[in-house]
Amino acid sequence: MSEPVILLDRLSKAYGDVLAVDTLSLEIEAGTIFGFLGANGAGKTTTIRMLCGLVKPTGGRGLISGRDIWSERQAVRSKFGYVAQRFSLYRDLTVEENLQFFGGAFRVARAERSARIPRLLKLVDLESKRDARAGSLSGGMRQLLALACALIHDPPLLFLDEPTSGLDPVHRQQMWNLLYDLSNRGITVFVTTHYMDEAERCTQVGFINRGRLLATASPRALKESFNTKLLEIDVDPTMPALVQLRQDADVLGVSLRSGSLRLYAPEPEKLIARWREHWPFGGIQWKGERLVEADMEDVFTAYSEGYDAMLKPLAP
């Protein structure tokens, strides 16, 4: 088996008494699209900044292609491209000038830059904007330019920190189409996001909450880790019911989904049977129910809220 592109062993980062990343252990193979998911402040950006050699870990270790992410960070930086959360290119330079600048910064020979830039402009659909100033581009186009600049030195690994945040649906899909193409070429993609639906687009997913890795597996395996289907019910009125149903001892949690209530309960069939005998919520009309499969939002909710009674261990 080949060496993983990324290997983390109890990697940690503390800011004073605050543990931003807590003993994170992880292996990512070449060509993987790894989705690193979690709420804002969960530790995603701190992790990616440690991987990029921008922040020194306070514990554990991390390797990229067998090199230490901190002690060998200068050598490691040639191995990856990085797209930050916020647009970090030069607004007064044109699209092509930004590519030329970053190509020079990564010591790409001038002749090689001349060959790569047209290919990258075509890849990100910015050929017609090559002479436009970066600051004049739309938000989606700026992110595509940032991706092209991250690829100018042809790295085998790409870090993207919430690259689709604020993008419209068209540019968001365009960004993901590009990531699929890069993965197909063998490039490893490490992408942070707080959009649960984007987890479905990844080949492997890791959930982080309060600095700790809750689970990591393929999206399919994570959804199949539930012991049971979820109970979804139609009630009227909805919002008072949401509050009241949370008080039931056999209900771990309740969320609103497309006008219906989705319940997290270890034994939903028994719950339905009990409620058929006696519906305890006065003033609430029960209009129907169904059992549904878990999605990635359910996965994150169950792991982050500690609904262990609904989950079975993931295969190693």
Classify residue 239: in a domain, yes or no. Answer: yes
**Do residues 204 and 216 touch, judged by C-beta distance below 8 A?**
yes
Provide the CATH number for the domain around residue 51.
3.40.50.300
Do residues 187 and 43 share a domain? Answer: yes
Residue 61 lies in a domain: yes
Query: Tell me, what's the pLDDT at 316?
Result: 65
Confidence of residue 1 (pLDDT cuts 50, 70, 90): low
Tell me how far apart the alpha carbons of residues 9 and 59 are, in angstroms, rounded to a whole number: 9
Q: Same domain for 198 and 269?
A: no
CB neighbours (10 Å) of residue 243?
9
Which pLDDT score, from 0 to 100, does residue 170 have?
83
Looking at 77-187, which runs of residues are DSSP E strands?
80-83, 157-161
List, in sequence order, the alpha helices (H) in 151-188.
169-184
- Does a structural domain hold residue 267? yes
Q: For residue 168, what are the domain limits?
A: 6-217
Do 70 and 201 lie in one domain? The reply is: yes
Backbone angles phi, psi at 4, to 5 degrees: -65, 150
* pLDDT of 27 over the 90 cut: yes
Residue found by looking up tokens 């319940």 in the block: 263
Residue 248 has pLDDT above 90, yes or no: yes
Answer yes or no: is 161 within a domain.
yes
- Residue 196's pLDDT is 83
pLDDT of amino acid 234: 97
d(CA 123, CA 90): 20
Closest CA to 211 of 41, 54, 63, 7: 41
Each residue of 115-155: pLDDT tens digit?
A: 999 999 998 889 999 999 999 998 888 888 999 999 999 99
> Which of the listed residues 184, 217, 250 is the one where a domain comes to its end?
217
The rounded mean pLDDT for the chain is: 92
**Would residue 42 count as lying in a domain?**
yes
Q: Is the pLDDT of residue 211 over 90?
A: yes
The per-residue pLDDT for 85 is 75
Average pLDDT over residues 16-26: 94
Q: What are phi and psi of 77, to 5 degrees?
A: -65, -25
- Say how far apart CA 210 and CA 261 lie, in whole Å: 27
In the predicted model, is pLDDT for residue 2 greater than 80?
Answer: no
Is residue 1, in this structure, part of any structural domain at all? no
Q: Are residues 150 and 203 in the same domain?
A: yes
Please say which residue of 217, 245, 262 terminates a domain: 217
Q: Are residues 171 and 258 in the same domain?
A: no
**CB-CB contact of 95 with 129 (8 Å):** yes
Q: Residue 5 has what DSSP assignment?
A: S
Clarify whether residues 145 and 57 are in a common domain.
yes
Per-residue pLDDT reduced to its tens digit, 252-309: 999 999 999 999 999 999 999 999 999 999 899 999 999 999 999 999 899 889 899 9
Domain boundary among 196, 217, 238: 217
Rg (CA), the chain: 23
What are the distances in angstroms from CA 139 to CA 152, 170, 243? Answer: 20, 12, 39
For residues 21 and 211, is the Cβ–Cβ distance under 8 A?
Answer: yes
Ranges 64-68, 165-169, 254-258: which has the least confidence: 165-169
Sheet holding 230-236: strands in order across? 253-257, 260-264, 230-236, 285-292
Domain-embedded: residue 316: no
Once rounded to an integer, what is the mean pLDDT over residues 18-28?
95
Residue 127 forms part of a structural domain: yes
